[in-house]
């Protein structure tokens, strides 16, 4: 080998070595300095990242956010995380690389989603949480959240009124990684547990999913056929529970309580098939979050970190006031 060949080889090796070292060092230091470039032409872009679109309530949340952002002059795109944190992370990577101006965000996991929000923040993209929170107050620009705990305190009080101070019931939990699941459960139990005669015979997760709730309750009913009530952590699971009870001829005997205020459950409340639900206001939350995005882009920086939104009890007595995921007649 002549000297020239040897030097060239050495130079290539040094280049490879320094490149590898630079990549390793950069990865270790958490480099993520992609600057957000807005799209050169057309309106500024806003991403709407939703935990799942396999539930009508979240479809309403996503579409209301997209529509309000569009009204305010933005090009809004919905991303479905399918309740999968890995998909959510992948959406964030695409959004950061694609020059979006802001993210309207419904997280899959209160803890697991924090890293995504921080990544967007580091890239200069503000994140506005809707309905579900993340367990950090220094990552998102604002969080508009349902007051699930207080809603379920009201629901728990009504549950005791309707079921009585003794009886057996089942609780269907939502996604275990979501704070809303536990805020609802704890709000409900803060009331119901004060009555020792009310016995919870089973507490199982059905992931906020109607089909899973149907399966889970069918299985529970085999072991505990004599229940008096079901408290479901959302309306999709209440529908699944009602379906399971109807299939076994128990729908008239077992009182079902939901949470969300979806149109199909509000209708079943008016028909007396489901006893009560709690109306969250997805359109109010989505519109407020989209308006916060607009204010941010116009220069506003002073947002309350968390804004709880009141939840209202829907029963046969007041069901006429509710519909279309809110108060009837409200925008």
Smaller CB separation from another protein, 89 or 150 = 150
Q: Give whole-number Cα distances, 244 to 6, 203, 207, in Å.
A: 77, 16, 16
330 interacts with another protein by CB under 8 A:
no
Q: Is residue 308 at the binding interface for another protein, with CB under 8 A as the rule?
A: yes
Q: What are the start-end ranges of the E strands in the chain? A: 45-50, 75-80, 102-105, 127-131, 142-146, 167-173, 198-205, 229-232, 255-257, 277-279, 306-309, 312-314, 322-323, 326-327
Q: Is the separation of the CB atoms in 257 and 227 below 8 Å? A: no
Nearest CA to 304 out of 312, 295, 317 is that of 295
CB of 135 to another protein, least distance (A): 5
| Between 69 and 284, CB nearer to another protein | 284
Q: What residues numbered 58-97 form the site for another protein, per CB under 8 A? A: none
CA angle, 180 then 216 then 311, to 5°? 25
Q: Of residues 113-172, which lie at the interface with another protein (CB under 8 A)?
A: 133, 135-137, 144-145, 147, 149-150, 153, 156-157
Q: Which is nearer to another protein, 18 or 316 (CB)?
A: 18
State which of positions 22-41 bind another protein (CB under 8 A): 24-25, 28
Count of all residues that appear for the chain in the document: 331
The tokens for 234 are: 């959302």
Does 107 help bind another protein (rule: CB under 8 A)? no
Give the separation between CA 281 and CA 261, rounded to whole angstroms. Answer: 8
Closer by beta carbon to another protein, 137 or else 316: 137
Q: Mark the segment that binds another protein (CB under 8 A) among 49-57, 71-79, 175-183, 251-259.
A: 175-183
Binding site for another protein (CB under 8 A): 6, 10, 13-14, 17, 20-21, 24-25, 28, 110, 133, 135-137, 144-145, 147, 149-150, 153, 156-157, 179, 182-183, 186-187, 190-191, 194, 281, 284, 288, 304-310, 312
């Amino acid at each position: 080998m002549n000297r020239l060949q040897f030097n060239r080889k050495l130079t290539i090796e040094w280049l490879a070595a320094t490149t590898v070292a630079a990549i390793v060092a950069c990865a270790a230091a958490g480099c993520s300095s992609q600057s957000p470039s807005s799209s050169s032409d057309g309106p500024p872009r806003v991403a709407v990242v939703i935990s799942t679109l396999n539930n009508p309530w979240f479809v309403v949340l996503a579409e209301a956010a997209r529509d309000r952002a569009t009204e305010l002059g933005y090009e809004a795109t919905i991303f479905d995380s399918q309740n999968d944190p890995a998909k959510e992370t992948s959406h964030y990577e695409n959004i950061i690389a694609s020059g979006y101006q802001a993210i309207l965000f419904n997280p899959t996991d209160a803890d697991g989603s924090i890293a995504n929000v921080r990544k967007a923040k580091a890239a200069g993209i503000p994140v506005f949480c809707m309905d579900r929170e993340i367990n950090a107050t220094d990552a998102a620009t604002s969080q508009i959240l349902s007051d699930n705990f207080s809603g379920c305190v009201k629901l728990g009080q009504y549950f005791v009124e309707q079921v009585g101070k003794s009886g057996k019931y089942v609780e269907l939990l939502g996604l275990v990684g979501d704070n809303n699941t536990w805020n609802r459960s704890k709000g409900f139990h803060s009331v119901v547990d004060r009555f020792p005669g009310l016995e919870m015979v089973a507490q199982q997760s059905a992931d906020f999913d109607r089909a899973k709730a149907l399966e889970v309750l069918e299985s529970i009913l085999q072991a505990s056929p004599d229940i008096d009530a079901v408290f479901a952590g959302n309306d999709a699971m209440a529908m699944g529970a009602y379906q399971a009870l109807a299939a076994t001829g128990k729908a008239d005997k077992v009182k079902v309580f939901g949470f969300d205020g979806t149109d199909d459950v509000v209708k079943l409340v008016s028909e007396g098939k489901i006893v009560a639900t709690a109306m969250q206001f997805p359109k109010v939350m989505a519109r407020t979050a989209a308006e916060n995005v607009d204010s941010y882009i116009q220069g506003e920086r002073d947002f309350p970190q968390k804004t709880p939104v009141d939840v209202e009890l829907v029963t046969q007595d007041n069901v006429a006031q509710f519909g279309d995921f809110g108060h009837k007649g409200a925008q």
